[in-house]
Amino acid sequence: MEPRATKRKAEALDVAPTLPTEPALYSGPFPFYRRPSQLGCFSLDAQRRYHGDARALRYYSPPPINGPGPDFDLRDGYPERYLRRDEEVREGLDHLLRWLLEHRGQLEGGPGWLAGATVTWRGHLTKLLTTPYERQEGWQLAASRFQGTLYLSEVETPTARAQRLARPPLLQELMYMGYKFEQYMCADKPGGFPDPSGEVNTNVAFCSVLRSRLGRHPLLFSGEVDCTDPQAASTQPPTCYVELKTSKEMRSPGQWRTFYRHKLLKWWAQSFLPGVPNVVAGFRNPEGFVCSLKTFPTMKMFEHVRNDPDGWNPSVCMNFCAAFLNFAQSTVVEDDPRLVHLFSWEPGGPVTVSVHRDAPYAFLPTWYVEAMTQDLPSLPRTPSPKD
Ligand code: GDP
Ligand code: MG
């Protein structure tokens, strides 16, 4: 069931439509979601420079099963071996757009596939999936239509910006600890071993570019992937990918319940979208050491809340996302890369829309718009017998 966007007042007044977010409105059957396939990938290096290859991909290398088990000091190297990405740099969709520009001539799906698609980051879709259950953080998504394609790019809300600038030191350290865990669990080469002596540099990223479809909405999105498992049953991406997470050690059934209700929802949404089959969690003790690991298969996460009246439901998440895509596709009618429809949401309310032109909301860069407006660079011609 997909409730149509509701008009706030009488139809005749022609007020802007809004989209409700209450879970009860989206509890129909699970919608169609195409098995995500990887179209390509790219890497960002230590200086955040783009490379159209998998050089930043790391290899899953957990501690040996027969050994003593993990004892990872997640605070080691903090802050002296921590190189943080500059969060003031607003990258928008730029890296994904560069990939798309360089591969637009080789996209599968037939002519016109891209024109009917929605292009965005996986992380933006994750926020849409969890919206019906989110009680803390709102979001803003800027949308532009260009050559048919709908582009969605997140805008940092004033609240999120204020929170980021006032981030407590303890939270800063917790963020470092998440990256440090990846370093303890990943090698640079298949069959290699982790080297936790180096620096943690959050500029480095490996991103998978995926194709899927939700209901009638073709999707092209990219997401950062932590590592690939060289031992995985299938070496085919995205099924060989592993997502790494840290969480506080749990000491009571009540703590597990809270974990299943809140954290597992976010983990599920993030990994289900790109088809990443497993999330490996490291549980840290109060001293910041990971002494236990647990693998959560993405497709089994819902089992932990299936019988919980205060749990989450994957159908609600996906139906809401489909309803948002319907809403956005029917709201953003005009094809103009300088025109932005800003979708805004705060917990407890509906999704609202405002319209803007150019700075500061327009996000499709001139280099992208101009290059896409040129004809496709022609491939070297295959000589024909007549030549
Ligand atoms: P996630 O699912 O939220 O981790 O985000 P994605 O995997 O969709 O990543 C999209 C892009 O945003 C990639 O280039 C990431 O390196 C980058 N990115 C990931 N997390 C953050 C973040 O917290 N802040 C900013 N500014 N960029 C991020
Ligand atoms: Mg991770």
Which pLDDT value is given to residue 30? 99
- State the Cα–Cα distance between residues 305 and 314, nearest whole angstrom: 10
Which pLDDT value is given to residue 111? 83
pLDDT one-digit tens code per residue, 237-289: 999 999 999 999 999 999 999 999 999 999 999 999 999 999 999 999 999 99
pLDDT at 161 over 60: yes
Closest residue CA from atom 17 of ligand 1:
224
Pocket of ligand 1, candidates 94, 121, 126, 270: which has the most ligand atoms within 8 Å of its Cβ, to mutate? 121
Burial of 111 (0-12, 13-18, 19+ CB in 10 A): exposed
pLDDT at 330 over 60: yes
Give residue 201 CA to ligand 2 midpoint distance, Å: 14
Which pLDDT value is given to residue 324? 99
Give residue 350 CA to ligand 2 midpoint distance, Å: 30
Q: What is the ipTM of this complex?
A: 0.93
| Token pair recorded at residue 310 | 């205060």
pLDDT at 380 over 90: no
pLDDT at 381 over 60: no
Q: How confident is the model at residue 4 (pLDDT cuts 50, 70, 90)?
A: low
Helical H runs in 28-168? 94-103, 122-130, 158-165
Which pLDDT value is given to residue 386? 46
Give residue 123 CA to ligand 1 midpoint distance, Å: 6
* Mean pLDDT on 294-321: 99
Contacts 24+ apart (CB under 8 A), 234-237: 237/38, 237/41, 237/208
Arithmetic mean of pLDDT over the chain: 95
Backbone angles phi, psi at 124, to 5 degrees: -70, -40
pLDDT at 202 over 80: yes
Note the pTM of the prediction, 2 decimals. 0.95
Give residue 121 CA to ligand 1 midpoint distance, Å: 8
pLDDT at 2 over 50: no
What is the percent of the chain where pLDDT is above 70?
94
Q: How confident is the model at residue 10 (pLDDT cuts 50, 70, 90)?
A: very low
pLDDT at 352 over 90: yes
pLDDT one-digit tens code per residue, 293-303: 999 999 999 99
Backbone angles phi, psi at 99, to 5 degrees: -60, -45
